[in-house]
């Protein structure tokens, strides 16, 4: 039986961040050259977003290195949450780039600028776009395979850049065909709006991860289905809680068994339950707590903050 790789090991993923950095440098240079050739604010917006790609890739590299660190005394659950910081920073940089693009577009409305060498500028930008597309698909595949939110966010950003480039080229082409210079800043504003939407989605995903949001509904359903067979044997459970930290999932629940069961019987049951949950939810850390169906105190800890009970008088109440 093969074993899954450690989901907290991000050391092998840094090569994709380096690939993203290299692609950002090349495309930024190509798109900057296209802007110099044409004077198109749309192409300038494209070049600026490639600069954001570079900053995001550098951040991704740094956070992947942090996420690759093993658990230690100060971070007993590992460092995988560092990936959410990368996503959050990249999303914020995207929003800042969108603001810059919108400002430049409005300025161009006030002072129109004639575009030049459109054919050559478009050709250079197309080459850069295809380069971005290839790199984005490679990184997206790696991100999904490794369940890396950092790589997925970086790939989504690159794909957004590709669609943005397509829109910009459409605008520049429209100017070339019609001679209407106003189409260039209009397309730039549309590009800015698209970038804002992408940035908001990435920031939202990072915030949800940092807020310990529960696992998706499909994964929760899979957990509940795995627990159903045990309910037919007089066993119950409650306080099912889940969260995700990068590629690592965390699941905790309280399992209630008849009071006459021995500790050994209860422990064996928990072992089987944890194995079943890990089977349906790879890369999951499962924590279970055994309780007695016959003890009233077992029903006082279903909420996140346990209710106060009279068991403290025995000196053992806090350990239920």
| Amino acid 11: pLDDT | 66
244: how many CB neighbours lie within 10 A of its CB? 23
Closest CA relative to residue 278, chosen from 196, 222, 239: 222
Write the pLDDT tens digit of every residue in 151-199: 888 888 788 778 777 776 777 677 767 777 777 677 778 877 877 887 8
Q: In the chain, how long is the greatest CA-to-CA distance?
A: 87
112: how many CB neighbours lie within 10 A of its CB? 12
Closest CA relative to residue 95, chosen from 203, 21, 208: 203
Return the domain boundaries, the chain: 11-210, 217-319
Cα–Cα distance, 180 to 184 (Å, whole number): 8
Domains 11-210 and 217-319 fall in the same CATH topology: no
Of the CA atoms within 13 Å of residue 227, those in its CB half-sphere come to: 22
Say yes or no to pLDDT of 257 above 50: yes
Do strands 236-245 and 248-257 pair parallel, antiparallel, or not at all (unpaired)?
Answer: antiparallel
Identify the residue with better confidence: 8 or 295. 295
Q: How large is the average pLDDT for residues 48-69?
A: 82
DSSP 3-state assignment of 241? Answer: strand
Write the pLDDT tens digit of every residue in 273-307: 999 999 999 888 999 999 999 888 888 777 777 66
pLDDT above 70 as % of the chain: 83
180: how many CB neighbours lie within 10 A of its CB? 11
Say yes or no to pLDDT of 317 above 50: no
This prediction has a pTM of 0.66
| Amino acid 5: pLDDT | 46
DSSP 3-state assignment of 203? Answer: helix
Mean pLDDT for the chain overall: 79
Identify the residue with better confidence: 63 or 311. 63
Segment of 15-29, 72-86, 170-184, 267-281 carrying the highest mean pLDDT:
267-281
**Domain range 11-210, CATH architecture:** Up-down Bundle (1.20)
| Amino acid 138: pLDDT | 94
Residue pointed to by tokens 């069961």: 261
Domain 217-319, CATH: 3.30.70.1350
Closest CA relative to residue 222, chosen from 167, 282, 264, 154: 282
């Amino acid at each position: 039986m093969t074993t899954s790789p450690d989901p907290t090991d991000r050391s092998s993923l840094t090569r994709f961040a380096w690939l993203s950095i290299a692609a950002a440098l090349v495309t930024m240079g190509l798109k900057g050259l296209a802007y110099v050739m044409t004077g198109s604010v749309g192409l300038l917006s494209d070049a600026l977003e490639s600069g954001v790609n570079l900053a995001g890739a550098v951040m991704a590299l740094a956070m992947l290195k942090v996420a690759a660190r093993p658990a230690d005394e100060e971070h007993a659950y590992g460092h995988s949450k560092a990936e959410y910081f990368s996503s959050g920073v990249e999303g914020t940089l995207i929003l800042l780039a969108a603001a810059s693009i919108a400002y430049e577009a409005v300025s161009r409305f006030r002072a129109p600028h004639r575009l030049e060498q459109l054919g050559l500028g478009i050709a250079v930008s197309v080459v850069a776009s295809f380069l971005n597309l290839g790199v984005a698909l490679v990184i997206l595949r790696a991100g999904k395979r490794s369940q890396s939110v950092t790589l997925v966010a970086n790939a989504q950003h690159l794909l957004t850049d590709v669609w943005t480039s397509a829109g910009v080229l459409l605008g520049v082409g429209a100017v070339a065909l019609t001679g209407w210079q106003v189409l260039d800043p209009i397309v730039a504003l549309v590009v800015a709006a698209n970038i804002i939407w992408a940035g908001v989605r990435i920031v939202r995903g990072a915030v949800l991860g940092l807020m310990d949001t529960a696992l998706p509904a499909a994964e929760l359903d899979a957990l509940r289905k795995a627990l159903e067979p045990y309910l037919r044997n007089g066993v119950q459970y409650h306080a099912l809680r889940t969260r995700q930290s990068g590629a690592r999932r965390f699941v905790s629940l309280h399992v209630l068994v008849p009071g006459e069961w021995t500790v050994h019987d209860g422990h064996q049951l928990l072992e089987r339950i944890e194995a079943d949950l890990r089977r349906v939810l790879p890369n999951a850390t499962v924590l279970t707590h055994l309780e007695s169906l016959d003890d009233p105190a077992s029903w006082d800890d279903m909420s996140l903050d346990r209710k106060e009970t009279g068991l403290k008088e025995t000196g053992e109440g806090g350990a239920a």
